[in-house]
Amino acid sequence: TGIDYTISEKRPAPPADVNGDGKISIADVSIVVFYMGKSGSTAVKYDLSGDGKVTLTDLSILVSMIGKK
C-alpha cells in the first residue's frame, strides 16, 4: 500500500557520556571537572566510580573512554 516503516533503535548513552549527546568527549570532561569534589544527589550522575563523590578517579574513568561509543 505504499507505506514505508523506519525502525530506529536508540541506544542508551554510556555512563561516561554525562551530557547525553551520544559520544564521550572533552565536553563530558569539562562537566565532570565542574562537579569535582561534590557529592550527593546533584553529583550522582557524574560519580562514575560509584564511591559517592566526584573525584580524580571519575575523571580518569572518563578520560580513558574518550572517543568510545
Please give the share of the chain, as a percent, with pLDDT higher than 70.
Answer: 81
**Between 15 and 52, the higher pLDDT residue:** 52
C-alpha–C-alpha distance, residues 55 and 37, integer Å: 6
Mean pLDDT across 36-62: 94
If pLDDT is split at 50, 70 and 90, which confidence band does 64 have?
very high
C-alpha–C-alpha distance, residues 2 and 24, integer Å: 40
pLDDT, the chain, mean: 86
Indicate the pTM of the whole model: 0.77
Cell 550522575 sits on residue:
45
**Between 31 and 5, the higher pLDDT residue:** 31
